[in-house]
Structure 1
Amino acid sequence: MNIKTGTSLKKAGAKHHYSGTDFWIKLKHAATAAGKELVEKSLWLYYASHRPETPTWAKAAVYSALAYFILPTDTIPDFIPGTGYTDDLAAILAAVSTISSYIDDDVKSRASEKVAHWFGKNETGKKAQQSSSP
C-alpha cells in the first residue's frame, strides 16, 4: 500500500483512529495540562492537513500523530504530572518535521490565534480576541 501514489486515506488506514471531533475535544480539555507547545504544534498539523495543497502522504502522517494524541492509552499515560504528554509531543514533533514544507505562515497564524484564544493572551500581552471557528 503506497500512500504517496494517491491511495485513499481510508484504504491506507491513516484515518482509522483519527476523528476531527475527538481531536477538538481532547485539545480543549487537555490544553493547559498538555502545554502551549503541544497545542500549537497539534494545530499546525490540523490546519496543514486541511490545505488542498497538502498531499495524501502528508495527511496520513498528520492523522497518525493526531490519532496517537487522541488515544486514551499510549506509552506514557497522560495523567502523569510533568511527563504525561511527553510521548504525545514526540509524535507531534515528528509529524511536524515530516510535513514542515506544508506548514506555511497562514497555518501558523491560524494556530497562533487559537492558542491565544485558549491561553488568554497573545505574544504582545494583549487580550486575545474570541474566535468561534476551528
Structure 2
Amino acid sequence: MTVDNEIVVNDKKFWNKMRDYGKRAGRKTAYYSLLLFYTAKSPGVPKSTKLIIVGALSYLIFPIDLIPDFIPVIGLADDATVVAAAVFKVVSHIDDSIKNKASQKVTKLLGEDIK
C-alpha cells in the first residue's frame, strides 16, 4: 500500500499477516485492520489520515513488536491497541462502502460473517 508514493506498506506482507493474525487476534480486530486498509486506499482520504493508517498497519506487519505476538493473550494486545487507536482517529473517513469491503474480506479470510 502506498500513500502518495511516499510511504510503502507491502500489500503481500499485510495479507499474509491478516490470514494468520485474524485467526489468532480475533475477527473484530481483523475487521478493524481491514477498515484501515480500505480507508487508506480510498482516494478522498487526506494524506495526514493515510499517514496515521500506514503507521498503524506498518506496526501490525512489522516483525518486532513491543510485546512479541507469540506471548499468549497479551502478545497481540499491542497490535490490537494500535489498530483500535487508529480506527478511532480516522473513523470519520470510514464509509459504508469501506465497511462492506472489510466485512466481505474478513469473511473470505476467516470464513464466517462478522456479526
User: Any gaps of 5 or more consecutive residues in structure 1?
Assistant: 1-7, 125-134
Identity %, equivalent residues: 36
Corresponding position: 1:20 with 2:11:
yes
Structure 1 counterpart of 2:86, from 77, 83, 95: 95
What SS does the aligned partner of 1:112 have? helix
TM value normalised by structure 2: 0.89
Structure 2 counterpart of 1:76, from 46, 67, 70: 67
Pair 123,44 (structure 1): closer, same or farther in 2 beyond 3 Å: closer
Moved over 2 A (4+): none
Letter in 2 for 1:103: I
- Distance in 2 (alpha carbons) for counterparts of 1:52 and 1:79: 36
Greater Rg over alpha carbons, structure: 1
Superposed CA RMSD in Å reads: 1.6
- Distance in 1 (alpha carbons) for counterparts of 2:114 and 2:56: 27
Cα contact 1:9–1:60 (8 A) shared by 2: no
Aligned pair count?
Answer: 112
Which structure would you say has the larger RCO, counting Cα contacts within 8 Å and 6 or more residues apart?
2
- Distance in 2 (alpha carbons) for counterparts of 1:19 and 1:120: 24
User: Any gaps of 5 or more consecutive residues in structure 2?
Assistant: none
- Distance in 1 (alpha carbons) for counterparts of 2:5 and 2:71: 33
- Distance in 2 (alpha carbons) for counterparts of 1:36 and 1:89: 11
- Distance in 1 (alpha carbons) for counterparts of 2:113 and 2:26: 15
TM value normalised by structure 1: 0.77
Cα contact 1:9–1:56 (8 A) shared by 2: no
Considering fraction of residues, name the structure with more helix: 2
Counterpart position of 1:132: none
- Distance in 1 (alpha carbons) for counterparts of 2:38 and 2:26: 18
Structure 2 counterpart of 1:47, from 1, 26, 38: 38
- Distance in 1 (alpha carbons) for counterparts of 2:60 and 2:13: 10
Counterpart position of 1:110: 101
